[in-house]
Chain A
Amino acid sequence: MHDSPGTALPYEEVAAEATGEWIENRPSSGARALRLGELWSYRELVLFLALRDIKARYKQALFGLLWSVVQPVAGVVVLTLVFRRLAGVPSDGTPYPVFALLGFLLWSYFAGSLGNASASLVANVSLVTKVYFARLVTPIAALVPGLIHLAIGLVVLAVLMPFYDVAPGWEAVFLPVCLIGAMVVALGAGLLLATLNVKYRDVGQVLGFLTQLWFLATPVAYPSSLVAEEWRWAYALNPMTGVIDLARWSLFGRPEPGGYLAVSALSALVFLAAGLLYFQRTERQFADVI
């Protein structure tokens, strides 16, 4: 069966295999080093888990991808009616529907991925208790399926923009940065919640409430310029503020990015670091507690 030894050993054991070294399993204490090498060796598993979720999601869905079009459009219609027509919320000079759609798309991606990531360990109990793998794989894989939704939504946005006479400039190259930002925040917060979820099943209930509050504290349906100047730095502590402001700047040229962006970026990194730290400290116990 060993037709070509050593050609297809994808994991960290590759190194151990070559030298015949021991791989040890001993009690962990305190923080563990982030084992990026090991995580990289599991990249195919990330892909397969993501594919599984995507296929499972779309296989039985009658409208399939059409749903990804209907949802943001319907969402923006509601936001426009409520925030624009009823409340007269401004939109930094950008036509409100495209202004809100971009915010809505990024927010939906973030909220959906956060939910998936939080549930990822509990949803894969049999994996966690029956197989060894880098546990970070499941929350990371949870970030992938939402990208399809988001991509289709961005196509809808691209179709609508000329209609509202909005054309992006060179700043559009920064759009991927926003996406990475949304992924970082979703992963950071998702790791915290996923770890808590292993031990406390009420996280699922808290999540809905948390997401609602977070939505209101993020400039999705309104511009961040509405927030009073002296509170802007505190407002920017919500990293999703920076993500959505940067996205609007990249596509609409407004609002001008300022120092608040750095606050958001820092806050996003703190989220990620905290999530990774808590996750890594606890992951060796997941199989025992879940």
Chain B
Amino acid sequence: MPRNAIEIDHVSKRYLLGEHHGAHGTLRDTLTAGARRMLGRDPARVEEVWSLRDVTLAVPEGQALGVIGRNGAGKSTLLKVVTRITEPTSGIARTRGRVGSLLEVGTGFHPELTGRENVYLNGAILGMSRREIGRRFDDIAEFSGVQRFLETPVKRYSSGMYLRLAFAVAAHLDSEIMAIDEVLAVGDAEFQRKCLGKMGALESEGRTVVFVSHNLDAIARLCGTAVWLERGRVEAYGPTGEVITAYLAAGITRAAEVEFADQPTEAVALRSATLRDPAGKPAVMLDRDRPFTIEARFTVREPVPGLDITVFVESLRGARVLDEAWSETAPDLRGSPGDYVARITVPPLLAVGDYAAGLWIGSAYETYVYEEDVLRFRLEGGTKGRADRVLQLGLAWDVERVHGAEPVAAEQIG
């Protein structure tokens, strides 16, 4: 039994959201809040958010732990506690060995500096010594595939090149523990494959990995154990397969209709989102063989040129199956003020299973509404859902028997 490389011991983390703890607090806010408190008026509204609550877990040396959960479940906070970027409010996190944090690709990259200069800078930021980077420089350059542009300022790079170079540095970080947050969500498919391969190699090199991702398939492939966080608490912790199954099963808290509080100050406000069956009734259990409708009601208060609305549907494994924009079929959009009802009807395309739908409303310049995961529903049908299948198109087969075992042959044996 290998000893532990990471121990998280009853860790809780509280964030304070409120007037004078906000990110853009000013001195005036603090002074007025203080004055109000002295006068006995309502003290500054300080909202507590527990990002982690009494989390206890351990990762043995050389193993990979996957962290899953919805947005805001505390996954990133857990990484920040492991990497010591932030301290816990209570409890202790212990690590053994050097910890590399890959919470963001290309931290500290400066656009004016060349690729080579940024490799050294980024390496130093991630904790590599100059000698170490020098020794690995050729590997890094080769892995990134941008060797020819190493003397070019990175501001002239395409975003793909930039990310490749940045990931290449991170991938060559030689620390005992790696904390990785969603960095694979970058680059083209080919590069993603390369990154996944590199990450798979980490564990076999005996490094300890903590990996946060929405991509359950990647977690399943890379991590032996997983923890599922739900509003800061450990909901499940154990072998990855079991945790993912439990997570997927719990995704079925369905909602057919969600109403939103009006936001009178916003130029555009979402009022409600609804799933309707073919009869027009709100429903969460839908027939896979019949179309269903996603409906959004919203209010436009100020003219928004080029107003657009997008509906997207994701499988619970995180694959975006549909992403339909109004502008794709109605080119002349006007965002004149008024109340709107937007409907989109999805034909029977999707396979049996659980899905989540989200909404975006905005223009080319601004996002007014972005609600991931507002509606959750299940498609049911006669055919049994197959794991990993998202589309079921009932495509016709064309099968011809061109050559086969002849019945005559059977007779001959007899």
Residues of A within 8 A of B (CB): 1-2, 8-11, 13, 16-17, 20-28, 44-45, 47-49, 51-52, 55-56, 59-60, 124, 126-133, 199-202, 284-285, 287-290
Q: Does B124 contact A (CB under 8 A)?
A: yes
Q: When the two chains form their complex, are residues B101 and A130 in contact, meaning their CB atoms are under 8 A apart?
A: yes
Complex formed: what's the CA distance from A110 to B107 in Å? 29
Please give 12 more A-B residue pairs, beta carbons under 8 A apart, in addition to A9-B98, A25-B93, A132-B84.
A16-B96, A23-B84, A23-B96, A25-B95, A26-B87, A52-B121, A133-B127, A201-B25, A285-B86, A288-B15, A289-B23, A290-B23
B49-93: which residues lie under 8 A (CB-CB) from chain A? 80-93
Chain A residues with Cβ below 8 Å from B112 are 55-56, 59-60
Q: Which of A1, A52, A124 contacts B174 (CB 8 A)?
A: A1
Most buried by A among B25, B86, B127: B127
Q: How many A-B residue pairs have CB under 8 A?
A: 142
14 intermolecular pairs with C-beta atoms under 8 Å apart: A8-B174, A9-B98, A16-B97, A26-B91, A48-B120, A127-B125, A129-B103, A130-B104, A131-B101, A199-B25, A201-B25, A202-B26, A285-B86, A288-B15
Whether A201 lies near B24 (C-beta < 8 A) is yes
Please name all residues of chain B whose beta carbon is closer than 8 Å to the beta carbon of A55 when the two chains form the complex. Answer: 110, 112-113, 117
B94 touches A25 (CB 8 A): yes
Q: Is B147 an interface residue (CB 8 A)?
A: no
In the complex, per-residue mask of B23-37: 1 if CB is within 8 Å of any chain A CB, else 0: 111111010000000
Of the 9-residue stretches B129-137, B214-222, B302-310, which lies at the interface with chain A? B129-137
Q: Pick the 3 closest A-B CB pairs, nearest first.
A: A22-B94, A48-B124, A25-B93
A131 with B85: CB separation less than 8 A: yes
* Partner pick for B92 among A11, A26, A284, A285, CB 8 A cutoff: A26
Q: Which of B86, B113, B135 has the most CB of A within 10 A?
A: B86
**With a CB–CB cut-off of 8 A, which chain A residues contact B132?**
8
Q: How far is the CB of B304 from chain A (nearest CB, A)?
A: 30
Q: Considering only CB atoms, which chain A residue lies closest to B29 in the complex? A: A200
Give min CB distance, A32 to chain B, whole Å.
Answer: 11
With A45-B124, A130-B103, A131-B101 already in contact, the answer to whether A124 and B108 are too (CB < 8 A) is yes
B205 within 8 A of A: yes
Contact A13 B129 (CB under 8 A): no
Interface size on B, residues (CB 8 A): 56
Decide if B93 touches A24 in the complex (CB within 8 Å). yes
Q: Is B297 an interface residue (CB 8 A)?
A: no
Inter-chain contact B98/A11, CB cutoff 8 Å: yes
Contact of B108 among A17, A126, A287 (CB under 8 A): A126
CA distance A49 to B174 in the complex (A): 21
Q: Point out the residues of chain A lying under 8 angstroms from B30, CB to CB.
A: 200
Q: Is B95 a contact of A22 with CB atoms below 8 Å?
A: yes
B135 / chain A contacts, CB cutoff of 8 Å: 8
Separation of A284 and B91 alpha carbons in the complex (Å)? 15
B396 CB, min distance to chain A CBs, angstroms: 51
- A-side contacts of B85, CB under 8 Å: 128-132, 287
B283 interface hit (Cβ, 8 Å): no
Q: Which residues of B contact A (CB under 8 A)?
A: 3, 7, 15, 21, 23-28, 30, 80-99, 101, 103-104, 107-108, 110, 112-113, 117, 120-121, 124-132, 135, 153, 174, 176, 205
CB distance from B115 to the nearest CB of A (A): 13
Q: Which residues of the other chain, A, contact B83 by a CB distance below 8 angstroms?
A: 131-132
Residue of B nearest to A48 (CB): B124
Q: Is the CB of B108 within 8 A of A13?
A: no
A200: chain B residues at CB < 8 Å are: 25-27, 30
Known A1-B205, A131-B101; judge A11-B127 contact (CB<8 A).
Answer: yes
- A133 and B117 contact, Cβ closer than 8 Å, known pairs A13-B97, A16-B96, A202-B27: no
> Which residues from chain B contact A28 at a C-beta distance below 8 Å?
87
Q: Determine which of B26, B108, B174 lies in contact with A127 in the assembled complex, contact meaning CB atoms within 8 Å.
A: B108
In the complex, the chain B residue whose C-beta lies closest to that of A290 is: B23
**A227 CA / B84 CA spacing, docked (Å):** 50
Contacts of A288 in B (CB 8 A): 15, 86
Q: A44-B130, A55-B117, A290-B23 are in contact. Are A131 and B96 (CB under 8 A)?
A: no
Q: Shortest beta-carbon distance, B90 to chain A, in Å? A: 6
Task: Please give, as numbers and ranges, the residues of chain B lying within 8 Å of A56 by CB-CB distance.
Answer: 110, 112-113
A166–B205 CA distance with the chains assembled, in angstroms: 67
Contacts of A127 in B (CB 8 A): 107-108, 125
Contacts A124-B108, A200-B30; A287 near B96 (Cβ below 8 A): no
Taking A56-B113, A126-B104, A133-B125 as contacts, is the C-beta distance between A27 and B130 under 8 angstroms?
Answer: no
A12, B394: Cα distance in complex, Å: 61
A21, A59, A124, A289: the one within 8 Å of B96 (CB): A21
Q: Which residues of A contact B103 (CB under 8 A)?
A: 129-131
Task: Report chain A residues within 8 Å CB of B82.
Answer: 25
> B125 to chain A: which residues have CB within 8 Å?
45, 48, 127, 131, 133
Whether A27 touches B90, Cβ cut-off 8 Å, given contacts A44-B129, A52-B110, A127-B107, is yes
| Minimum distance in angstroms from A275 CB to a CB of chain B | 19
Contact B97 A27 (CB under 8 A): no
Most buried by B among A1, A21, A47, A289: A1
- Whether B96 contacts A27 by the Cβ 8 Å rule is no
A contact residues around B3 at 8 Å (CB) = 20
**A3: nearest residue on chain B (CB-CB)?**
B135
Partner of B87 from the list A124, A202, A284 (CB cut-off 8 Å) is: A284
Q: A45 CA to B129 CA in the complex, in Å? A: 9
Contact: B98 with A24, CB < 8 Å?
no
Please give the distance in Å from B370's CB to the nearest CB on chain A: 22
Report which of A25, A44, A49, A124 forms a contact with B88, defined as CB distance below 8 A.
Answer: A25
Q: For A284, list chain B residues within 8 Å (CB).
A: 86-87
Q: Which B residues touch A124, using CB under 8 A?
A: 108
Determine the chain A residues whose CB is within 8 A of the CB of B97 once the complex forms. 13, 16-17
A262–B84 CA distance with the chains assembled, in angstroms: 41
Instruction: List the A residue with the shortest CB-CB distance to B111.
Output: A56
Asked whether A201 lies within 8 Å of B26 as measured between CB atoms, the reply is: yes
Q: How far is the CB of A136 from chain B (nearest CB, A)?
A: 15
**Across-interface contacts of B176 in A (CB, < 8 A):** 17
**Which residues of A sit under 8 angstroms from B126, Cβ to Cβ?**
131
Chain A residues with CB below 8 A from B93, complex form: 24-26
Chain B positions within 8 Å of A22 at CB level: 7, 94-96
